């Protein structure tokens, strides 16, 4: 098997410096003819699935005079009122939540966003800021009749300083578009995720998304330099021209990173982008146990060090779902209980490949890994990444998915998947036939960041499944001192569970901030704060 690694990886292939792992845009999926995504398969209204959540009567109901006002400040095509067209903005990516908004607004400028919010605040109209609508906690869609404020038309790249790598853009620029622009100039966006073809850079900042290369580039809390934000009362606050070092007072932009649209609307951002590595290598490995995943990680950190840019793990069950979805042969000849995807990136392809091969050889000799392949060209590289990046979609297309995105100490990480599987089996919910709502509970994620994605793939959304898992999962995570949200946020799904991770004094401070900056609570109501 090692020969296989060496044989398949030893040719001196220099991989292309540009990787564009395009995923179909959500809009394309939504409007495709496949049954899973077609509008004909109606998603249950959130208000029906969660009857305990009531519309807050403090909020005004949209009137013709409101429409007239918005028409007076926006071009006609920036207002969406058609029921069919509104579906895209009302339904979330998982097709688990559906709001009842009657109006989506698509401003083009910060000034227009400011006018919209000022008016909504005075009228007490609730507003949901929306980026690419790829969020996975129901935070990006309305619950009742909130107005959707889509940033999709705010999509201009403002500037790139090719000396410092400081990139400034409107928040509605699609992540992949931003990254392509940076690639043309020798830079890389310091965040990469499977939804890059649809999600907005502003949306990723609003959720503080982590993604596939956090291991290398760190959190957005570190790389974002400044933000342009419109507060609930319409006031524009901007730190977009901030330089890398600035120690004058509170770092206010941090408040908005990860605030999920509850404190202000991000209209522009500036971010420090690193030079784009010239070469990427990807290895896909099979191992016998979760223990071996951890051992491989420790070894990779020590032996690949500065060139390691991603370390992802997947269990056998999620690869089975991915296989059904991708309809191609597995990358490895034999099946293994766990798989690892390692990416290295650096400035010298031959040197990186040599290092990677030496690492794999020793890991194989020490029986840490059982099998593996290295991509030899860009097509193979994208193909291997597909086995990782397509898992979220593979888990949800059979009817739906319950997602739990958690941080745990590495030694406990996979224990949650075993615990969830056992709980669902005991509750008689997991099985091979249509009688059972649950198809499987699978685990994968960003091992390098201690981030597990527990995905419970279902044939249909059913309350019994949710009841079996919530708060069970959150209690389990809390007992291990983990976080109930590692990177997706709290949104609607986890709004009642913040106390499992944050203390009462912390929650109190969050409420005070909300009260201070959005006293009428018009921004993203019914969500976590």
429, 474 contact by CB (below 8 A): no
Q: Does 136 bind ligand 2HG (CB under 6 A)?
A: yes
Q: Does 477 bind ligand 2HG (CB under 6 A)?
A: no
Q: Does 392 bind ligand FAD (CB under 6 A)?
A: yes
DSSP state of 529: -
> Per CB under 6 A, which region of 97-105, 176-184, 236-244, 486-494 contacts ligand FAD?
486-494
Q: Does 104 bind ligand FAD (CB under 6 A)?
A: no
**Nearest position to ligand 2HG, beta carbon:** 392
> How far is the C-alpha of 206 from the C-alpha of 191, rounded, in Å?
13
Shortest Cβ 104–ligand 2HG spacing (Å): 25
Which H or E run includes 465? helix 463-469
Ranges within 109-128 binding ligand FAD (CB under 6 A): 128
Alpha carbon distances (Å) from 375 to 65, 313, 345, 384, 431: 59, 17, 13, 7, 36
Q: Supply 319's token pair.
A: 């690869």
Q: Does 392 bind ligand 2HG (CB under 6 A)?
A: yes
Task: Characterize the bridge pairing of strands 104-105 and 147-150.
Answer: parallel
The contact pattern for ligand 2HG, residues 482-501, with x = CB under 6 A and - = no contact, is -----x--------------
Shortest Cβ 335–ligand 2HG spacing (Å): 21
Residues contacting residue 512 through CB under 8 Å, at least 6 positions apart: none
Q: Does 310 sit behind a cis peptide bond, omega within 30 degrees of 0 on the bond before it?
A: no
CA torsion, points 459, 323, 315, 307, in degrees to nearest 10?
-130
Q: Which is nearer to ligand 2HG, 86 or 442 (CB)?
A: 442
Handedness of CA 54, 58, 62, 63 (dihedral sign): positive
Among 99, 142, 190, 211, binds ligand FAD (CB under 6 A): 211
Residues contacting residue 515 through CB under 8 Å, at least 6 positions apart: none
Among 145, 176, 228, 260, binds ligand FAD (CB under 6 A): 260
Q: Does 139 bind ligand FAD (CB under 6 A)?
A: yes
> How far is the C-alpha of 198 from the C-alpha of 211, rounded, in Å?
14
Shortest Cβ 524–ligand FAD spacing (Å): 5
> Per CB under 6 A, which region of 132-140, 180-188, 275-283, 425-433 contacts ligand FAD?
132-140
Q: Does 407 bind ligand FAD (CB under 6 A)?
A: no
360, 308 contact by CB (below 8 A): no
Ranges within 192-211 binding ligand 2HG (CB under 6 A): 194
Q: Which is nearer to ligand 2HG, 165 or 392 (CB)?
A: 392
Please tell me whether residue 56 adopts helix, strand or coil conformation.
Answer: coil
Interacting partner of 429 out of ligand FAD, ligand 2HG, none (Cβ under 5 to 8 A depending on kind):
none
> How far is the C-alpha of 133 from the C-alpha of 506, rounded, in Å?
28
Q: Does 202 bind ligand FAD (CB under 6 A)?
A: yes
Q: Which residues pair with 310 in a beta bridge?
A: 343
> How far is the C-alpha of 360 from the C-alpha of 369, rounded, in Å?
8
Q: Does 203 bind ligand FAD (CB under 6 A)?
A: yes
Which H or E run includes 422? helix 415-426
Interacting partner of 277 out of ligand FAD, ligand 2HG, none (Cβ under 5 to 8 A depending on kind):
none
Please tell me whether residue 271 adopts helix, strand or coil conformation.
Answer: strand
Interacting partner of 134 out of ligand FAD, ligand 2HG, none (Cβ under 5 to 8 A depending on kind):
ligand FAD
Among 91, 405, 440, 518, binds ligand 2HG (CB under 6 A): 405
Q: Does 135 bind ligand FAD (CB under 6 A)?
A: yes
Shortest Cβ 206–ligand FAD spacing (Å): 3
Among 104, 140, 219, 296, binds ligand FAD (CB under 6 A): 140
Q: Which is nearer to ligand FAD, 9 or 131 (CB)?
A: 131
Q: Which residues pair with 406 in a beta bridge?
A: 452
Interacting partner of 270 out of ligand FAD, ligand 2HG, none (Cβ under 5 to 8 A depending on kind):
none
> How far is the C-alpha of 523 from the C-alpha of 304, rounded, in Å?
45
> Per CB under 6 A, which region of 5-13, 59-67, 210-218, 239-247 contacts ligand FAD?
210-218
Please tell me whether residue 111 adopts helix, strand or coil conformation.
Answer: helix
> How far is the C-alpha of 298 from the C-alpha of 294, rounded, in Å?
6
Q: Supply 101's token pair.
A: 């908004």
Shortest Cβ 208–ligand FAD spacing (Å): 8
Q: Does 455 bind ligand 2HG (CB under 6 A)?
A: yes
516, 508 contact by CB (below 8 A): no
Alpha carbon distances (Å) from 446 to 135, 155, 212, 323: 18, 30, 7, 20
Please tell me whether residue 231 adopts helix, strand or coil conformation.
Answer: strand
Interacting partner of 130 out of ligand FAD, ligand 2HG, none (Cβ under 5 to 8 A depending on kind):
ligand FAD
Residues contacting residue 225 through CB under 8 Å, at least 6 positions apart: 166, 242, 243, 244, 270, 271, 272
Shortest Cβ 2–ligand 2HG spacing (Å): 29
Q: Does 129 bind ligand FAD (CB under 6 A)?
A: yes
Interacting partner of 453 out of ligand 2HG, ligand FAD, none (Cβ under 5 to 8 A depending on kind):
ligand 2HG
Interacting partner of 443 out of ligand 2HG, ligand FAD, none (Cβ under 5 to 8 A depending on kind):
none
Q: Does 138 bind ligand FAD (CB under 6 A)?
A: no
> How far is the C-alpha of 90 from the C-alpha of 118, rounded, in Å?
23
Residue 417 burial (CB count, 10 A): 24
Q: Does 403 bind ligand 2HG (CB under 6 A)?
A: yes
Binding site for ligand 2HG (CB under 6 A): 136, 194, 392, 403, 405, 453, 455, 487
Binding site for ligand FAD (CB under 6 A): 93, 128-136, 139-140, 151, 171, 193-195, 199-200, 202-204, 206-207, 209-212, 260-261, 265-266, 392, 487-488, 491, 524
């Amino acid at each position: 098997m090692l020969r296989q690694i060496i044989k398949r990886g030893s040719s001196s292939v220099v991989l292309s410096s540009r990787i564009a792992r395009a995923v179909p845009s959500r809009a394309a999926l939504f409007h495709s003819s496949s049954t899973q995504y077609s509008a004909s398969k109606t998603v249950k209204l959130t208000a029906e699935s969660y009857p305990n959540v009531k519309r807050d009567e403090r909020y005004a109901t949209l009137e013709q005079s409101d429409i007239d006002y918005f028409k007076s400040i926006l071009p006609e095509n920036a207002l969406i009122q058609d029921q069919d067209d509104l579906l895209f903005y009302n339904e979330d990516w998982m097709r688990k939540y559906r709001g009842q908004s009657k109006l989506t607004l698509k401003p083009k400028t910060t000034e227009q966003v400011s006018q919209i919010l000022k008016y909504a605040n005075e009228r007490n109209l609730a507003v949901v800021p929306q980026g690419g609508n790829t969020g996975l906690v129901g935070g990006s869609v309305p619950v009742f009749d909130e107005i959707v404020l889509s940033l999709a038309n705010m999509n201009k790249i403002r500037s790139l300083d090719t000396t410092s790598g400081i990139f400034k853009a409107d928040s509605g620029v699609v992540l992949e578009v931003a990254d392509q622009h940076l690639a043309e100039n020798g830079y890389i966006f310091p965040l990469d995720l499977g939804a890059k073809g649809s999600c907005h850079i502003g949306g990723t900042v609003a959720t503080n998304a982590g993604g596939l290369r956090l291991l290398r580039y760190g959190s957005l809390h570190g790389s974002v330099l400044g933000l342009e934000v419109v507060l609930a009362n319409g006031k524009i606050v901007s730190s977009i021209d901030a330089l890398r070092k600035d120690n004058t007072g509170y770092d206010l932009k941090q408040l908005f990173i990860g605030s999920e649209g509850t404190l202000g609307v991000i209209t522009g951002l500036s971010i420090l982008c690193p030079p784009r590595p010239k070469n990427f290598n990807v290895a896909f490995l099979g191992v016998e146990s979760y223990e071996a995943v951890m051992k491989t990680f420790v070894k990779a950190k020590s032996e690949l060090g500065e060139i390691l840019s991603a370390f992802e793990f997947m269990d056998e069950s999620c690869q089975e779902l991915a296989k059904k979805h991708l309809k191609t042969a597995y990358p490895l000849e034999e099946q293994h209980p766990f798989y690892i995807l390692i990416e290295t990136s650096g400035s010298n392809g031959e040197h990186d490949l040599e290092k990677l091969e030496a690492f794999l050889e020793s890991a194989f000799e020490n029986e840490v890994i059982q099998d593996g392949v290295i991509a030899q060209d860009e097509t193979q590289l994208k193909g291997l990444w597909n086995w990782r990046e397509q898992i979220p979609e593979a888990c949800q297309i059979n009817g739906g998915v319950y997602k739990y995105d958690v941080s745990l100490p590495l030694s406990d990480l996979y224990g949650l998947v075993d615990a969830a599987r056992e709980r669902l089996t005991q509750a008689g919910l997991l099985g091979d036939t249509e009688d059972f709502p649950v198809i499987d509970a699978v685990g994968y994620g960003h091992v390098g960041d201690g981030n597990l994605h527990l995905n419970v793939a279902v044939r249909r959304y059913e309350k019994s499944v949710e009841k079996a898992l919530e708060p069970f999962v959150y209690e389990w995570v809390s007992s291990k001192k983990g976080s109930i949200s590692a990177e997706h946020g709290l949104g609607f799904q986890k709004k009642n569970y913040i106390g499992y991770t944050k203390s009462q004094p912390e929650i109190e401070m969050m409420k005070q901030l909300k009260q201070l900056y959005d006293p009428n609570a018009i921004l993203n109501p019914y969500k976590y704060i």
